[in-house]
Amino acid sequence: MKILWLLNELPPMVAEQLNREGSNKEGWISGALSRIVREDMLSLSICYPVGSEDEIKDSEVSLASGVIKCFAYFEDRKHPERYSLLAEARFGEILKKAKPDLVHIFGTEYGHTLAMVRTINKLGESAPKMLIGIQGVIFRCGEEYTCDLPEAVVNGYTFRDIIKHDNIANQQAKFLERGEWEKEAIRNCPNITGRTDFDKSIVEGLNESARYFAMNETLRTPFYEGGWDIESCRKHVLFVSQADYSLKGFHILLEAMSDIKNKFPDVRVRVAGANICANSCLKDRIKLGSYGKYLNNLIKSYGLEGKVEFLGRLNAEEMKREYLSCHTYVCASSLENSPNSMGEAMLLGVPVVASRVGGIPSLIAEEEEGLLFEACNAEGLAEDVIRIWKDDNLALRLSQRGAHRARLTHDADVNFMRLIEIYNEILS
């Protein structure tokens, strides 16, 4: 069977051969691709985004299972709220060249998903089959974007926000606008995959005639080896995988840190990703957005100077080291479907504290495999962290049972065979 993947990001193993920068943001793509290159069960081509029309080209890479054709398409990631008719034209060209039996679209977060759905539906009887894989649900993320931030912060502006016309309220509006494209794409695609009760309910609400296929994700290879050890971890250290914008709830964690610090004065939090709070020089202050400014105010008001460290962009091995060395992983988002980082933490046996939102309750049994708190509730978050740090037996139980659950959820063999099964069912 001939499959074309439409991707949001270029997987590192392909990027390396194309001399481009890859992305670890969507690790399940790399996980699935790793399985495909070890097997010889399908012919795969991929579409990936580039930031300039001059970069649009067709190419090939040689992997273990053979040659993969790669087709670049332009997408303006600086302005993802702008829909591109050029993408529809490019996808028409790609479909003629690749001649896929099925197009698998990963995610609904960007306009290219709707562009591909529209392009395929215009082809009529000659069109390939199509399948959308739900990742996040952006219209719901837009609805929960501010995560209980004060209105003055949501509607406020820094110099950077004025120049870019991109304060928190603007960012939320852009999410909601992209969410309308997402809804149209889901309504017009006959086959959808998902993995949680939350995303299934979204699909059923938008397209009751669609076939919904349950399929879990395979994560990046390094996270299937090694395990967290309560004796060797750095006590009273929290690890957070992302804090770039308000939806991720980092301000809620900072509020919780105030209570945690009263019980554990040596508490620290380590954050993967860029330091959005940086303000040590004029250049930093010019680039500082409203959310970063608000986080800085919280750090100062709660006396957390020196307790928050941003680690920069981390690859899989660096992320793994952070998981294994922390005492607890925290996901404080106001909405998630199936957070990749939580799955990685659970696979390694790291005790998890997460918000009880979206698809998270489908992936973790509360009190047995992790502790859950109400969204945007700093007091509940603090209580859960303190419970784990005061009770090693609880930490060990969550570690062992969480790892067991994650090994089932993210079983690479099972998930790969399920993917092939879904492809076969759609094409039969």
pLDDT per residue as tens digits for the range 279-298: 889 998 999 999 999 999 99
Q: How far apart are CA 412 and CA 410, in angstroms?
A: 6
pLDDT of residue 203: 98
For 72-83, what is each residue's pLDDT tens digit? 999 988 888 888
pLDDT of amino acid 62: 83
Answer yes or no: are the C-beta atoms of 224 and 347 closer than 8 Å. yes
How many helices (H) and strands (E) would you count in the chain?
18, 14
> In this predicted structure, which of 42-51, 88-97, 178-187, 202-211 has the lowest mean pLDDT?
42-51
- Give yes or no for a contact between 254 and 295, defined as CB atoms under 8 angstroms apart: yes
Residues 6+ apart with CB under 8 A from 379: 256, 259
Strand partners of residue 73: 49
d(CA 303, CA 259): 11
Strands (DSSP E) along 118-183, which ranges? 129-133
Tens digit of each residue's pLDDT (9 = 90 or more) over 23-69: 666 566 777 787 777 776 788 999 999 988 889 999 988 876 678 89
Identify the residue whose tokens are 């939350």: 198
Residues 150-165, mean pLDDT to the nearest whole number: 95
Question: Measuring CA to CA, which residue among 184, 175, 108, 105 is closest to residue 144?
Answer: 175
**Rounded CA gap, 289 and 291, in Å?**
5
Identity of the residue numbered 365: A
Q: Under a CB-based contact definition with an 8 Å cutoff, are residues 385 and 256 in contact?
A: yes
Given strand 211-214, what is the order of strands in its sheet?
58-63, 66-74, 43-50, 2-6, 102-106, 129-133, 191-194, 211-214
Share of the chain above pLDDT 70, in %: 97
Contact 73, 31 (CB under 8 A): no
Predicted TM-score (pTM) of the model is: 0.92
Q: Contact 407/347 with Cβ under 8 angstroms?
A: yes
CB 42 within 8 A of CB 83: no
Q: What is the pLDDT of residues 326-380, one digit of tens each?
A: 999 999 999 999 999 999 999 999 999 999 999 999 999 999 999 999 999 999 9
Coil, strand or helix at 283 = helix
Which tokens in the block code for residue 129?
A: 């089959």
